[in-house]
Every structure is written in structure tokens, then in C-alpha cells.
Amino acid sequence: MKRIKGRTDESILVCVYYGPNGERLIQRGCKIANMLDCPLYILTVDPKPFDELDAEKTGYIEKWKQLAEQHSANAFILKDNEKRPISKVIAEVARDKNVTQIVLGQTAQSRWEQIAKGSIINALLREIPFVDLHIISVSRQLKNSDSHYDKGVRAYLVKEENLYRIIFKHTKEVEFEGIFFKEFGTDFDNGIFKFMKDKETLQVQVHDGIVKELTNVAMDTDTTKDNEYL
């Protein structure tokens, strides 16, 4: 895995969490590290011990280890059984590895949580103010969307009894914020709503403005583009 890098004044740390965007974040970090010819580290943090993780999570970790090997990363770092705030853990690793740039996925916190608790980004800026942060967003494009969907627009889900209704203006009743992809050729709000829940990206079906259940729709996303974050 490890190879001698040309520069030691720069160092990249990629922070990944379970979900489809982890590989995309690693690829972005590798691209930056290759351009700078500098050390690359990949970090994931979990509050549970490794031996208590389910098969899906351990599968992600094994995949990330393979990607670290393929891209000649200096180390894949797993911080399991970790009870501290994630910003504290990231900052500790960044200081230990002399990291100068951090690649992060879009935060899963809602705007209300950010106001009440403070965002991870703000916490990192306080902890390690001289480290550059690269925030990589959830894509606003769906694969093959040219033939099926309009470009994504910002939207919200509001709970109504056992259903969710999609709206396009933020209110205090909003439970989820994301991107709505409307199907071509319809006057109704039919399509896909893409958002983050429990730090994972979900795509759910919308029919006539209603989401009946938060069940992920098996649909590939285009991970080759970086777009403005939600």
C-alpha cells in the first residue's frame, strides 16, 4: 500500500461513512493526492466495536480497504468503539498525520440540527482552523436522467399521518431536505426524491406529490460529477 511520496508539506485525509458516496470521496481524495504527490489517508469512525458491526457495514470497510490498496494510500484508519464527537476524532487523526486537506461528504445533519448543535464543518474549523476542507455533495444528477427525469430541484418532505408530502418551500414541519427529480411528460409531482437519512443516501418514489414509505429505490447514481451541495 505504502509508497514514497514526493511532497511532505501536504497530506490528504478522506473521511468516509457507510453509503454509496464513500467510493466517490476516496476517488476525489486520490485525485488530489496524486496531483500533489503527497500522502493519503482514509478514515472511518464508528461508535460500535468492529466485531459488533453488521455484514453490510463490514462489507463497506473491506471495499474501502481494497480501494486504499489500489490507490497506494498510506493507511486506512478505522476508529471503532469511538464515543467522542466525530469532529474530535477527525481532528486528532489530522494532527497526528500532519494533514493539510480533508475530504468530507455532505453532512447528514438537517439545518435545524446545525442551528441547535452546530455542524461538523464548524466544529472542524474550530478544532483545526488551518486545514482546508473539501465538501463533496450528494449528486444532483441521476444516471441516464436525460431520458427520464428533469434536473433535480431542492425539495422537502413533511409528515402527514403515515405518509410524507413533498413541498418546495422550507417550513418548521419539514422532516427531510433533499433533491426532487421530476419525471418527464407529467403534470404531477411524480419522480424520485433523493435525501440523506441516518447518514446514508436514500432515493424514494414520489407519486402525485406523496411518498408512501421511505424505501430505497434501486437506481444507480452518477458519481462522476460534483455539484453544489444541498
Q: Grid cell 440540527 — which residue?
A: 113
Q: What is the mean pLDDT of residues 202-230?
A: 67
Pick the more confident residue, 157 or 229: 157
For 56-111, write each residue's pLDDT tens digit. 788 889 989 999 999 889 999 999 999 999 999 999 999 999 999 999 886 544 44
Q: For the residues of 122-145, what is the DSSP string, one character each? A: HHHHHH-TTSEEEEEPPPS-BTTG
- Per-residue confidence (pLDDT) for residue 195, from 0 to 100: 85
- Give 81: exposed, middle or buried? Use CB within 10 Å, 0-12, 13-18, 19+: exposed
- Paired residues of 192 in beta bridges: 181, 205
Q: Which amino acid is at 99?
A: V
pLDDT digits (tens, 9 = 90+) for 105-128: 865 444 444 444 557 888 888 999
Read off the pLDDT of each residue in 120-145 and give the average, rounded to a whole number: 76
Structure confidence by residue, pLDDT tens digits, 7-66: 678 999 999 988 767 888 898 999 999 999 999 999 999 999 998 888 878 888 998 999
Round to whole Å and give the CA distance between 127 and 207: 44
146 and 117 Cβ atoms separated by less than 8 Å = no
Distances (CA, A) of 40 to 31, 72, 80, 103, 130: 10, 8, 20, 11, 18
Whole-number Å distance between alpha carbons of 54 and 31? 31
Structure confidence at residue 12 (pLDDT): 96
Helix, strand or coil for residue 181? strand
The answer on pLDDT for 205 being more than 60 is yes
Choose between 142 and 105: higher pLDDT. 105
Pairing of strands 101-105, 210-211: unpaired
Residue range 181-198: mean pLDDT, rounded: 85
pLDDT of residue 7: 67
Rounded Cα distance, 176 and 19, in Å:
17
pLDDT interval class at 135 (50, 70, 90):
confident
What domains does the chain contain, in order, with CATH numbers? 12-136 (3.40.50.620), 145-211 (no CATH)
Give the residue with greater pLDDT, 180 vs 229: 180
Cα–Cα nearest to 74, from 10, 2, 5, 25: 2
Nearby residues of 32 by Cβ (< 8 Å), 6 or more positions away: 12, 101, 103, 134
Local structure of 39: helix, strand or coil: coil
pLDDT value for 115: 44
pTM of the model: 0.60
Collect all residues with Cβ–Cβ distance below 8 Å to 21 and sequence separation of at least 6: 105, 136, 138, 201, 223
For residue 6, the model assigns a pLDDT of 62
